[in-house]
Structure 1
Amino acid sequence: MSLKKLVNPGAFGQGADLWIIPNPEKSNWARKIDWYLNLQLLRANNHVPQILASELQSIIKENEMSLNSPSLKPNSALLINSRDHLPTRSVLHIPITGSKKEWLKQCFETWEKLNEPTVRFFLPPEIDDDFFENQWPKDKQYGVSYVSGTSPLEE
């Protein structure tokens, strides 16, 4: 089965367990999806972790303890549960940090690690339909749909 291209108004319809989006600043679709997610991407990108108080740091040091604080690396992927906001289980934000080929490779590898759920890509404008269709593995096209980055949004 071949890749399925969706156009407005079908882009926000049911049919995929995972939606993959690029940087909201590069994609109108990603901005609209982030809006429906209560701006979780915007908030995550602007989040600054708190620094421990110096008193607490000295207590930890005096007691020869260690504290491993989770931290999000810059430009790392972010998976958001979207069941209450959109007709999909999850939205995966994968920032574009290199070439369009590298972005698609990272998308594919992450999708495989998630056990290859049905997926819908909201492509950035710089990735045209032909490029996406030629890069996506022919034997992995079942359950894969995409929305062109140049498709107009409904306003």
Structure 2
Amino acid sequence: MPRLEPGQPAPTWTLPTADGGELSLSDLAGRKVILYVYPAAMTPGCTTQACDFRDNEAVFTREGYAVVGVSPDPVDKLATFADQESLGFPLVSDEDKEMLTAYGAYGEKQNYGKTVVGVIRSTFVLDEEGVVEVAKYNVRAKGHVTSLAKQLGVELPGAG
């Protein structure tokens, strides 16, 4: 399964959003983008990760980053998730997993010692031109936002 590497152009996409609209990578041109991929809305790990991004979104925005969450969940489930957790950033649905596959974020992975096929929790940081700056695969939900911020040189409140 191919994986993205820094320096590569990010594959383009247009996907439906939790708020009933559509979002394309081209809509984000001129902004740095943190695109995070998670397996399923309203599960413990994905909720932890989403809330970490929510709690630090203002800091990332101030540093020029747009945050976008991507999962294969249907838009109605994403809308419920966004509402329940007060998520202010876009959540996009990739039910057919084309974008996830193009980013190397869908395929074989280890889950409790078994090889399964599914969404690989991943994060991609794209520059203003849509070029991959960071491609992280198999990230942990807890602590990931702090680790990413450190890598990007973004200081989060309360982080030492």
More helix by share: 1
**Same fold at TM > 0.5:** no
Higher RCO, 1 vs 2 (CA within 8 Å, ≥6 residues apart): 1
TM-score by length of 2: 0.32
More strand by share: 2
